[in-house]
Amino acid sequence: MPAQLPISQMLPGVHRVRVSLAGGRRREYWYAWRGGPRILEATAQGDAALDREVARLTPRAAAAYEAERSPRADNFTFYGLITRYLVHLESDGKLGARTKSDRRKHLDVARADLGTMELQAFESRKARGFLITWRDGYKATPKTADDRLAAVGAVLQWAADRGELAGNPVKDFPRIYKVDRADIIWRTQDLAVLLAHAAPEFDHAVRLAGLTALRESDLIGLPWSAVGENAIIWQTGKSRRRKTVVIPITPPLRALLSAIPRRDAVTVLTSSRGLPWTISGLAAALRRARQDALKLAREKAGDPAAVSGIEGLRWHDLRGTAATNFILAGLTLDEVAMILGWKLDRVKEIAARYVSGEAMGMAMIRRLKRNERRDRDT
């Protein structure tokens, strides 16, 4: 933010967010208050250019800020309802920061499109069809479209629970985005493609995810203090730190933990700068690794249309990789299901597709031998 713009003094309470995008681009958002309506969005190549764009848009943002902060009681339109809901959302301890951020973005769109609707319109029997038709206008990106309507539904359900509406007209609405990724994982050959030219710090992060099944937020926050002699014991973020997960330290996981430099950081994983990873940092590193893999594949094939073979895989699919690694280490399917918080049928699907009967048999033999040694020692 340019030094000549004392935004915190000009617009007290304004909430500013700056994020990195692909290709070195940067984007900044301003909200009238944390959880409030968006009053500025600027995108540019690099921080210096973004500072100039923000400065250009500041007068308009200041006017929007004053309009939003002016005393008023809008209890009649959907715009006002969303505004009140966002204040509630900020203090909702049941939702994570990522969920709140995504919901605010979806509601910014809903408020722009539907804000002038009077609340009584949502009592109409036609409201459900109208809102689903609104959602369908964004069906070019089906998951985003569904998430957008789900955010609207969350507002309407909140209003219904408070007695402001008779009900939520889009409760249990039919989804247009349907995908079953239950048995999609990063295979050994996929990881080899991804990590062919990866920096050691990113390599460590990917492999740790594939050996622990930890989600991104838990992975980057995992402290060395959670790593015991035989298990990693950690409170997961998805459970709001109320649930403790116990991850056995298998031989491959032990070898990886030994290879990761301890440095001076509290967390197990650190970036090349020696600082804890961020979600956006991991996403950027994954994007770069994909680009490197694609470039290499096209160079090898001599074909600009060649693909790397890992285009459809996501970071979250490393949890399936971890499931296979746990099975190969000798854990039972029930134990794997418990660690990942999955239904047993999903683990069985993973095992049936990616773990051969011979490999599972050898894993069971290793498990039996370990039990026999333990029995002899007791």
pLDDT tens digits, 175-191: 998 765 666 889 999 99
What long-range pairs does 140-143 form, CB within 8 A, spacing at least 24? 142/176, 142/177, 143/177
Kindly state the helix (H) or strand (E) to which residue 232 belongs, with its residue range: strand 231-235
Does pLDDT of 142 surpass 60?
Answer: yes
Instruction: Judge contact between 319 and 215, C-beta under 8 A.
Output: yes
pLDDT tens digits, 160-179: 999 999 999 999 999 998 76
Average pLDDT in the 142-152 region? 95
What is the predicted pLDDT for the residue at 290? 93
What is the predicted pLDDT for the residue at 2? 41
Do β-strands 38-45 and 231-235 pair in parallel, antiparallel, or remain unpaired? unpaired
pLDDT tens digits, 206-232: 999 999 999 998 999 999 999 999 999
First and final CA of the chain: distance in angstroms?
Answer: 65
Phi, psi angles (nearest 5°) of residue 260: -80, 125
Q: Which of 93-102, 239-248, 253-262, 323-332 has the highest mean pLDDT?
A: 253-262
What is the predicted pLDDT for the residue at 4? 44
Q: Which of 121-130, 243-252, 345-354 has the highest mean pLDDT?
A: 121-130
Read off the tokens for 254. Answer: 């032990």
What is the predicted pLDDT for the residue at 63? 84
- In the sheet that holds 38-45, the strands lie side by side as 15-20, 25-31, 38-45
Please name the residue ranges forming H helices in 123-178.
127-136, 142-161
SS3 assignment, position 223: strand
Burial of residue 174 (CB within 10 Å: 0-12, 13-18, 19+) is exposed
Q: What is the pTM of this model?
A: 0.58
